[in-house]
Structure 1
Amino acid sequence: MSYQTGPAPLPQPARPLDYWLSAELAAVSPSGARSRLREIASARGSYMGAWAAGIGMGAVLILLGPLLAIRLGTFAPVPAFSLPGAAIAVLCCIFYAKVRDRLPRTDRSPVNRGPGSLRGALGFVGFILTAFIGVFAFTAKPSTWQDPALLLTLVAVLAFVVCLLVAAIIVPATILGRSRESLRSKAVNDPRFRALLEQDLATWRDPYGDAGYGPL
């Protein structure tokens, strides 16, 4: 006689997930201390920030098409810029939704070379814009400031640069800077995502030392 048995139950962790997700525990822990939850939050934030930047860049291209069409008096820029921009935005939206709802691979997360918080991003963008405007102000001819058409073009170029900086720097830096709070909120409000964390908590062991699962 044979007996069918179900899958073996997962081992019970020493501490529940709510303990590691606690904001109080995070507040009394060193901000630079390594933990599994922080690695997950950082990798998840990096992926979400990268795809959000792609969405923003796609939106910039969508707007650029009609603006160039009006400025140049031809419809050609719309399919040349807006259609690829829409495709990029839709594709990035799909991947953004996927990485938001699953646990990331922490050993293959994107390397972030830019600012990691909104404050750092604003300072960086402010520096770039100041340098950009300063170089132009010192190199432009006096007649440039008396030509309304040229000034309008310069304002449009500056607005385009600002949109690019917002999409490529401010948006991903903001998402990355809030990665821990975002993970905590997702775990509290999404039962499916919480179940993924519970399973990971039960099976994960630090391969490099004795780091804990949390704090977050």
Structure 2
Amino acid sequence: MAPGFYGADIQHRPLDYWLSPELSAITPANARSRLREIADARGAYMGAWAAGIGVGAALVLLGVVLAARLGTFVLLPALGLPGAALAVLCGFSFVRVRDRLPQTSRALVNRGPGSLRGALSFAGFIVLAFLGVFAFTAKPSTWQDSAALLTLGLVLAFLVCLLLVGIIIPATIMGRSRESLRRKAATDPRFRALLEQDLATWRDPYGNAGYGPL
């Protein structure tokens, strides 16, 4: 535990002290702090909205691919318009939560991977399971059918796309949430002012946790 982490002068520490990478490095990773709660909640919200942006973009792409594959443009607006609307709305929400302090009092439940490594392992398992089921159930003649293989390739590509935007990207954002908060505080004066104001008014309602480390 960092020297002086708890003490009578805990609320008088400047924000730079709590944001210090050195303080974070000598503090247990699971130690609770206000900055870590902010970073984790902000990362969870940003990851969720980023997934929405990606899913919307994937729907637009799917509409384009199906229109070209089937030779009809009926599916393009049917999938593209809702996808574009979803991407735009989630994009606005992403920018909004990126630039504000999140409400850490709300319970955020994340049942997916919380890091890039975990997301890659999960996505790899899903892809291998999909290929295994297909290989086990497909007829031998399927492997000589170019149209069937092309369809399989398109389905697999779309599955990988969904895993990328729905699992890997959000998990990467959440896994780097603390570094993202530190970088945001260093480059955005308005966001730093929000943290300074929060530091001046925040008190731990449950114990004696410090405002940091991050």
Deviation (angstroms), 1:110: 3.0
TM-score w.r.t. the length of structure 1 is 0.93
Q: 2:30 matched to which residue of 1? A: 32
Deviation at 1:96? 0.3
1:58 partner amino acid: G
Query: Which residue does the alignment assign to 1:6?
Result: none
Distance in 2, Cα, partners of 1:194 & 1:13: 17
Aligned to 1:50: 48
Report matched runs for 1:199-210 at 5 Å.
199-210=197-208
Within 5 Å, which residues of 2 pair with 1:56-71?
56-71=54-69
The reply on whether 1:88 has 2:86 as its aligned counterpart is yes
Describe the superposition over 1:47-102 as per-residue Cα deviations: whole angstroms up to 9, x where unpaired: 00000000000010010111111111111010100111000000000000000000
Q: Pick from 113, 125, 150: which aligns with 1:127?
A: 125
Q: Secondary structure at the match of 2:13?
A: coil
Corresponding residue of 1:193: 191
Distance 2:159 2:132 in 1: 15
Q: Which residue of 2 aligns with 1:8?
A: none
Equivalent residue number for residue 150 of structure 1: 148
Supply the distance in 1 between the matched residues of 2:210 and 2:108 (Cα, whole angstroms): 23
Counterpart position of 1:162: 160
Distance in 1, Cα, partners of 2:11 & 2:125: 48
Letter in 2 for 1:177: G
How far 1:109 moved relative to its partner?
A: 5.0
In structure 2, how many angstroms separate the alpha carbons of the residues matched to 1:109 and 1:203? 22
The 8 Å contact of residues 46 and 109 in structure 1, kept in 2 or not, is answered as: no
Task: State the Cα deviation string for residues 145-165 of structure 1 (Å, max 9, x = none).
Answer: 000011000000000000001
Structure 1: gaps of 5 or more residues:
1-11
Q: Deviation string for 1:95-117 (max 9, x for gaps)?
A: 00000000000011531110000
Give CA-to-partner distance per residue, 1:12-58, whole Å, 9 cap, x none: 93100000000000000000000000000000000000000000000
CA distance in 2, matches of 1:129, 1:67: 21
Aligned residues: 205
Question: Equivalents in 1 of 2:179, 2:102: separation in Å?
Answer: 16
* Pairwise CA RMSD: 1.0
Give secondary structure in 2 for the equivalent of 1:107: coil
Asked if the contact 1:43–1:109 (Cα under 8 Å) also holds between the matched residues in 2, the reply is: no
Q: 2:5 corresponds to which residue?
A: none
CA deviation string 1:125-176 (max 9, x = no partner): 0011111101111111000000001100000000000000111100100000
Distance 2:106 2:204 in 1: 16
* Long gaps (5+) in structure 2: 1-9
